[in-house]
Amino acid sequence: MSLPPGVFNDVVEAIGNTPLIRLNKVTSHLKKSEIWVKLERCSPGGSIKDRIGLQMVLQAEKEGLLKPGGTIIEATSGNTGIGLAMVAAQRGYNCIFTMPDKMAQEKIDLLRAIGAEVHICPTAVEKEDPRSYYEVAARLAKEIENSWYPDQYSNLANPLAHMKSTGPEIWRQTEGELTHFVATMGTGGTISGCGNSLIIQAKKDGKSPPKIVGVDAKGSILKEFFESGTIGTPHTYKVEGFGEDFIPPATNFDVIDEIRMVDDEDCFKMCRRLAKMEGLFCGGSCGGALKIALDLAEEYDYSDKKAKIVVILPDSGNPYLSKLYNDNWLKDNGFDISAWGE
């Protein structure tokens, strides 16, 4: 029996089909250009990573890599872990996650509340260091019987999730009328899958494909690698959820037209502005993506052209209440919020 729209048999069925919302107040100075945001906090686990959590599990089950009663072990900044833990709870798997110590306590608490075991690892070490959250996850997967290590950074089910869902949703919601697609880059799954999907659909429908614009964090190496093929020296930064200190195999740089960079202040300032002006309460990476979208829109306006930009807002602000939405935390970390004009 088919169910009415918006009614689901379980939480997993509710993943995806998130709203696309036009910004009005943050963009009130624009003459022609528009910015529309894909609000991924509306997925049941609170982020875009619900999509890849489900797709990676389905693929692993299909290939016989994840067996009944098995344990999922993954390195995560939080949101992928939450997505995996939600799917695991519904399908009867155990979860162990490793996380860098810069991540918000709220994410750690939420993972444990869903039943996951969480190991905290140092942030300021190389990826290959045995103490890194990548290496600890890989080691645990080898040691624990009947376990599966998704490795979202190289798992092609990651971009596939966006090829199958996020990209087609955006094309349908915009009726194929968009000039730019903007997304932050971590694993590269979102921009690779969405970008590929949008380019293919544009060609199929005889339309001009949107420009695919990635957003990297200052301190990450992705922008430099994209532009010159060289791997620079990463350094730590405060914003969570995007940027990397290595090149993730899940990233398809061929679909990307441009990568721009933002710093911590860009991200935090824009997040707080978005919350107060539009009522959209989102995470730090959302602020970075919106900062670049606004830059693009202003450039088009200045050239007397119209841009219609779709931006992925990957998650909610709830996990960051103790950080970027906390004035004392910002001051303690060297941010002069009195100059932000709030």
Chain-centroid distance, C-alpha 45: 13
Q: Which CATH class is domain 49-148?
A: alpha beta
For the chain, the maximum distance between any two Cα atoms, rounded to a whole number of angstroms, is 61
Phi/psi at 311 (nearest 5 deg)?
-120, 135
pLDDT at 16 over 90: yes
Residue 205: exposure state from Cβ atoms within 10 A (0-12, 13-18, ≥19):
exposed
What number is the average pLDDT over the span 295-311? 97
Per-domain boundaries in the chain: 11-42+156-331, 49-148
State the Cα–Cα distance between residues 182 and 189, nearest whole angstrom: 13
Mind telling me the catalytic residues? 49
How does residue 342 score in pLDDT terms, banded at 50, 70 and 90? Answer: confident
The residue among 228, 168, 248, 255 whose CA lies nearest residue 204 is: 168
- The band of 341, judged by pLDDT with boundaries at 50, 70 and 90, is confident
pLDDT for residue 172? 98
- DSSP class of residue 4? P
pLDDT tens track for 24-53: 999 999 999 999 999 999 999 999 999 999
CATH of domain 11-42+156-331: 3.40.50.1100
Domains 11-42+156-331 and 49-148 share a fold: yes
What's the whole-model pTM score? 0.95
Q: Which amino acid is at 41?
A: R
Quickly state the pLDDT bin for 229 (edges 50, 70, 90).
very high
